[in-house]
Structure 1
Amino acid sequence: MAKLTIKEIAKMAGVSPTAVSFVINNREGVSEETRKRVKEVIERTNFQPSLNSRRLLLNKSFNISIVIRKTSSPFDDLFYLEIAKGLLEKSKEYGYNIVFTDIAMEDGKVVLPDIIKHEDTDGIVFFQDTEEIILNEVNKLNIPYVIADAHNMENGNNNGITTVNANYELSAYTAVCYLIENGHRDIAYISSSFVPNFYLATFEGYRKALEKAQVTIQPSWIQINAVNEESAYNCMKTILENKHKPTAVFCTTDTFAIGAMKCAKDMGFKIPEEISFIGIDDIFLSNYIEPKLSTIKIDKFRMGSLAMELIMDKIQGKKVNSVVVDSDHLVIRESVKCRNKGG
């Protein structure tokens, strides 16, 4: 049996193809009686509209582009992989395809991928901070976009830009307060200056927690050259070369914590008996390393899901506001020792 078309469904229901399209996409503009009649025909015939039919009727591509810089990949970073999974799962509810693509810079000029240049995408989700020059090129095409995990736009709606963010200052403050509550006062800090606003936010949370507890920051314990597990290992090595050793280390990502913990073990320190560790993210590896890592959970899957909801609202012309996900969810595992008397 040949596959039915929207036109044939419309003829069977005695309505226009546009009315059928409105019903399929759950849009306003048809009466309840018409909606009911069309749904009955769809159910009776087990009709599934083809993507091409929907594209022609609604003048949409039904593609959402996840755009990264050519020098990075979401598959290399467990944090962004989880955001991508949230986007992908939510996209199914809207009948949209997720397309991964990248943007390059050549001689100071933006090189847009074909899917954007030819406007074969209805919306774009950028991961992390995106340069203004890139956003300006996208604005020329009037393609709506959302930025997920934009550190330099944490207040949201910056110049009309819609973002889904975490409050990393709050995450850092929560993590360091937990260490202090467990009797730690000698607390080191490992982060990355590669993303300045992320570093500034997490350091401010770290500083505020120590200031509240009237603890002095030790400059030699501040390491900001971590970009991955290996460099975090080296940061930890620098900290442990000091005569005075910290009893705890706050790492601004779980990946940094994993690298730092490996270094401490290699140098003969017991975790958490001699040095405690806490991170931010709650990537899935945090629950499988030894000892299991205590951390601040950032719901990355939800960030992706929210980014998809926001981009769909923007495609439909709705007014949207930026969103900040919960950022103080403490996940207590095995990497922090209580040093309080009787604890």
Structure 2
Amino acid sequence: MLKRKVRKMVTIKDIAKLANVSHTTVSRALNNSPLIKEPTKRKILEIASQLNYTPNFNAKSLVMQKSYTIGLFLTSISKGTSASFLADTIKGVNSIINQDYNLFIRGIDDYQDFSSINSQRFDGIILMSQSVHDNTFIYHVLQKGIPLVVLNREVEEDHLINILSNDSEGSRKAVEYLIDNGHRDIAIIEGTPSFKSAQKRKEGYMKALIDHNIPIKNEYSVQGNYDMESGYQAMVRLLGLKKPPTAVFCSNDDMAIGAMNAVFAQGLKVPDDLSVFGFDDIGFSQYTTPRLTTVKRPLEQISIHGAKKMLSLILGDEQEAEKILLKTELIIRDTVKRFV
């Protein structure tokens, strides 16, 4: 029976022996320490490369007291979070977090308690917060002293970095655009009730109507759940009213796409028979037929900004708490028609 030859793993001590320096010097050189002179650093890095040295992150974690893991948490991954929202969030964060860190992605609602969320497991946490129910998680993370950046939802807490878009202002501008195009019977398909974004977008909708002295009709507010199916069903309800709206503001693009399909299913046309306005500007919105008019919410940019802030916090470069508000933008395409 042939014996399998086991390849010996190269260690820092092996490199130190060949370079004729201490293993502490090797460790500092591999971690790009300014304490090591450049010629020595180059020599050590060259030897490490020739030996195909791979750092043992478990050992490194013990020495540096770091986990090399960054947590990306959402309120929920399975309930009320659209696929496009999840994809844009992960894409933005992942584009910044380099290969030195593991990215751990989870929904808060996966946990019965937060005892496993501690500084030994996470060097930092980025929270894409969608609900006030996340506050318990936020206070736990702060209490454990884990660097934290909260995205997407405004949090009344003075000791953290909070990055979000002005959803209320974006939806107000969207509804005002419908009003400027002659619409007065404007409905809203709302998002997941417990999500702050849904509340902010309805606030903007109502503010636009109030500012233009347009009566708010309860039957024109229909509940959705941020997915296409709920948008479809909500539009079926609106089309079944004795006096259907001439325009519908949808609290996200997924619901807008579902709503448009409900219009088509009844033999009607968008925007000839009914105008539709979305929110988010997901990738699919420019490829619908007709192309969806929507509010561009810089979700990927929010995620990128949050990841950069997190790395700065971990490295000790970022200390001050701040609230950063990114602007939304109207993206005018083909689903809104002037109502005469």
What's the TM-score once normalised by structure 2's chain length?
Answer: 0.80
**3-state SS of paired residue (1:64):** strand
State the distance in 2 between where 1:269 and 1:321 align: 51
State the distance in 2 between where 1:274 and 1:199 align: 26
193-202 or 11-20, larger mean C-alpha shift: 11-20
Aligned to 2:103: 98
Return the offset for 1:239. Answer: 1.7
Return the offset for 1:84. Answer: 1.0
**3-state SS of paired residue (1:246):** coil
Aligned to 1:123: 124
**3-state SS of paired residue (1:231):** helix
1:134 aligns with 2:137: yes
- Which sections of structure 1, spanning at least 5 residues, go unmatched? none
CA contact (8 A) 2:29 2:45 kept: no
Percent identity for Structure 1 against Structure 2:
29
Aligned to 2:3: none
Q: What is the RMSD computed on CA atoms of the aligned residues?
A: 3.3
Aligned to 1:331: 331
State the distance in 2 between where 1:332 and 1:230 align: 24
What amino acid is aligned across from residue 112 of structure 1 in structure 2? F
Return the offset for 1:251. Answer: 0.8
Aligned to 1:143: 146
State the distance in 2 between where 1:224 and 1:23 align: 58
Q: Deviations over 1:35-60 (max 9, x none)?
A: 46524653686476525264345321
State the distance in 1 between where 2:39 and 2:336 align: 59
**3-state SS of paired residue (1:281):** coil
What amino acid is aligned across from residue 219 of structure 2 in structure 1? S
CA contact (8 A) 2:108 2:134 kept: no
Aligned to 1:50: 55
**CA 1:4/1:136 → structure 2, altered by over 3 Å: closer, same or farther?**
same
Residue-pair matches, total: 328
Return the offset for 1:172. Answer: 0.5
Return the offset for 1:19. Answer: 6.1
Aligned to 1:229: 228
What amino acid is aligned across from residue 50 of structure 1 in structure 2? P
CA contact (8 A) 1:171 1:205 kept: yes
Return the offset for 1:333. Answer: 2.1
**CA 1:38/1:22 → structure 2, altered by over 3 Å: closer, same or farther?**
same
Return the offset for 1:5. Answer: 4.9
1:305 aligns with 2:332: no
Aligned pairs (5 A) from 1:253-272: 253-272=252-271
What amino acid is aligned across from residue 168 of structure 2 in structure 1? E
State the distance in 2 between where 1:159 and 1:174 align: 29
Return the offset for 1:70. Answer: 6.5
1:178 aligns with 2:184: no
18-27 or 234-243, larger mean C-alpha shift: 18-27
State the distance in 2 between where 1:172 and 1:277 align: 13
255-264 or 215-224, larger mean C-alpha shift: 215-224
**CA 1:125/1:196 → structure 2, altered by over 3 Å: closer, same or farther?**
closer
**CA 1:178/1:45 → structure 2, altered by over 3 Å: closer, same or farther?**
same
Q: Deviations over 1:143-175 (max 9, x none)?
A: 22222222x52xxx6242332211111110221
**CA 1:207/1:10 → structure 2, altered by over 3 Å: closer, same or farther?**
farther
Q: Deviations over 1:167-194 (max 9, x none)?
A: 1111102212222333333221111352
CA contact (8 A) 1:248 1:275 kept: yes
Higher CA-based Rg: 2
Q: Deviations over 1:97-152 (max 9, x none)?
A: 1122344578xxx42375x35822211222323533333433443222222222x5
Aligned to 2:114: 112
Return the offset for 1:20. Answer: 5.8
CA contact (8 A) 2:160 2:321 kept: no
State the distance in 1 between where 2:24 and 2:181 align: 64
What amino acid is aligned across from residue 59 of structure 1 in structure 2? Q
37-46 or 6-15, larger mean C-alpha shift: 6-15
Aligned to 1:190: 189
CA contact (8 A) 2:119 2:144 kept: no
State the distance in 2 between where 1:179 and 1:23 align: 61
What's the TM-score once normalised by structure 1's chain length?
Answer: 0.80
323-332 or 289-298, larger mean C-alpha shift: 323-332
State the distance in 2 between where 1:57 and 1:49 align: 16
1:250 aligns with 2:253: no
Q: Deviations over 1:29-88 (max 9, x none)?
A: 537xx2465246536864765252643453211111223457737985321221111111
